[in-house]
Amino acid sequence: DVLRDVADRFGDRATAIVFSGMAGDAVEGAVYLTAKGGEVWAQEPSSCVVSSMVDGARARGVVEFTGSPRELAQRCATRFVR
């Protein structure tokens, strides 16, 4: 629901990061967000405690960038911090 709301409000200006997790709730939200023009990044599965959520998003083909938590933070800082 959160990613759907973000997608509806911000569309192609939205970016979501999918981290380690067991559930699949972020997967459908990530699919919806990319359909609205948003972008999805994900934690590298090998750095996850449980990679089910990340694996699901990657399997759906909606992940544009995959990295370790440090790489995700660096990319976020480079892209959004001014």
Could you write out the DSSP letters of every residue in 38-58? -EEEEE-GGG-SS-HHHHHHH
Say how many residues make up the chain: 82
Rounded CA gap, 4 and 36, in Å?
Answer: 9
pLDDT in tens, 28-46: 999 999 999 999 999 999 9
- Percent of residues, the chain, with pLDDT higher than 90: 85
pTM, whole model, 2 decimals?
A: 0.91
Measured CA to CA, the distance from residue 59 to residue 81 in angstroms comes to: 30
Q: Is the pLDDT of residue 81 over 90?
A: no
Average pLDDT, the chain: 94
Q: Any idea which residue has 């544009």 for tokens?
A: 64
Euclidean distance between CA atoms 44 and 7, whole angstroms = 23
